[in-house]
Amino acid sequence: MSPTPHSFGTKVLCLPLDKSPCTDHRTSAVQLHSQLDMDLIRTAGAVVVLAVLSQAAVVTENGLPIQWEKAPSELSQLPTVDGVIQVDPWDYLQRMALYKLLINSTNPYMSSMGPGEKENPLWSLPLQLGWKLKSGRLADPSPGSTSTCGVESSEPVCISPQSWYACVNYYLSVLPFLAAVQTGVIGKGAVQVLMQVPAEAAQDYCSSYTDCSTKHTDAMSKWQTFFQSLQQISQSEDTDFDKKDQILGLMWAAEEESLQTASSACSERQKLYSSPEVGFGLSWLRSAEYVAATHFHGSIEKSEKFMVPLPSRVLQESDSPPNIADLSTEENHTLYIFSWMNSMNQLLGGTLVNLWRSAMCSAQAREKGQALLHDLVLNPKFPGFSLMSILSEMATSC
């Protein structure tokens, strides 16, 4: 794939997709706009295709998240002291239990997602946690660390408070769980929950609904809105199509707010990783903006297809995608294109994200966006002109 040159007046900007030289071109405003549209199409298509075709990472066991069957499935199975449930989210199975309780408690409101128990859009969250464990991203990244915490073979499996990925996931597990308890979706409003926080990093985490709401008001508010709205939406007279879009919109709004909160709260831990791993982590975090814009339905099947090409180990300083010898071709491509996508968006001042979002401007457009992702999964040679036609139609309807 050759570099894509862009000329603004007489200044040439190159988007390096390989190491071949970039030639100077004079581009009119119309040509530039057209070129940017084509770049958007190529980028979206390439990222999605590469992100769903690899079989590199392991994210399921028997069709479910890693160690899902071992995790507690009832509130009564979690530790309780003086009538207060005291969860240790640094125990892998207890953190996974938060997701199991969330999914089991919201399943009655998710019939619009489709038949079966694997259509709940919250499945993407425990699948991500399992991938982080399998790939070593829940371990202590500190140089010279001898801790076995975060290693799958440890017993019990713990999660290192030094892990950036574990920190980010805290805001996507503890916050929604506490909001679900507060709204009565879990426990019917009759339970109290306290989260254990690591003594060495207590200031970075919240431990209760009140504490989290005080420290992270916006994120908790959006999770509460999501859970409070579930029953109302599911019982409304709207079509399943509209119900699904509404539920997914509220869920992604809460997830994006949690990720923004985590991005700030967890930033210090990134210093413990190599520069390639930091770059990947940021690209992975920001890819949620594209997925969220489509109100992506993260069922187990769809989420697994999107996650299997993610890198199966933590990147080292010497790693340079797409030429990492012990990673698969799909992993190398995914790493390289994620990095390019992030660089392109920065170079264009956020235009890439804005262009993608602008095409997902209605429930119908978002449904087409999800169908487009599905088509790209089934047909990796999906013709570019067809993709452009679909996106043009979507943008015109806005």
Which residue has better confidence, 216 or 354?
216
Phi/psi at 376 (5° precision) = -65, -35
Task: Examine the pLDDT at 374 and tell me if it is beyond 80.
Answer: no
Which residue has better confidence, 313 or 357?
313
**Are residues 212 and 175 in contact, defined by beta-carbon separation less than 8 angstroms?**
yes
Q: Over the stretch 118-128, which tens digit does the pLDDT of each residue have?
A: 999 999 999 99
At residue 166, the pLDDT reads 97
Residue the block writes with tokens 């009119």: 28
C-alpha to C-alpha distance for 58 and 134, rounded to whole angstroms: 7
Q: What pTM was estimated for this model as a whole?
A: 0.83
Pick the closest to residue 356 from 268, 271, 283, 295 (CA basis). Answer: 295
Domain ranges of the chain: 55-272
At residue 200, the pLDDT reads 80
At residue 301, the pLDDT reads 92
What is the per-residue DSSP string for 99-149? HHHHHHHHGGG-GGG-SSTT--GGGHHHHHHHHHHHTTTTS--STT----T
Task: Examine the pLDDT at 249 and tell me if it is beyond 80.
Answer: yes
Q: Over the stretch 62-117, which tens digit does the pLDDT of each residue have?
A: 999 999 999 999 999 999 999 999 999 999 999 999 999 999 999 999 999 999 88
At residue 210, the pLDDT reads 96
- Strand pairing partners for 7? 12
Which residue has better confidence, 17 or 295?
295
Whether the upstream peptide bond of residue 156 has omega within 30° of 0, thus cis, is yes
Percentage of the residues of the chain whose pLDDT score is greater than 90: 56
Q: In the structure, what pLDDT confidence band is assigned to residue 386 with cuts at 50, 70 and 90?
A: low
Which residue has better confidence, 366 or 54?
366
Task: Examine the pLDDT at 163 and tell me if it is beyond 60.
Answer: yes
Full 3-state SS string of 334-353: HHHHHHHHHHHHHHCCCHHH
Range scoring the smallest mean pLDDT among 82-96, 138-152, 218-232, 324-338:
324-338
Range scoring the smallest mean pLDDT among 43-57, 223-237, 276-290, 311-325:
43-57
Q: What's the rounded mean pLDDT across residues 182-203?
A: 90
Q: Which CA distances in Å does 370 have to 292, 294, 398?
A: 10, 6, 17
C-alpha to C-alpha distance for 15 and 349, rounded to whole angstroms: 13
Which residue has better confidence, 134 or 9?
134
- Strand pairing partners for 8? 11
Most confident of 115-129, 185-199, 275-289, 322-336: 115-129
Whether the upstream peptide bond of residue 311 has omega within 30° of 0, thus cis, is no
C-alpha to C-alpha distance for 194 and 223, rounded to whole angstroms: 18
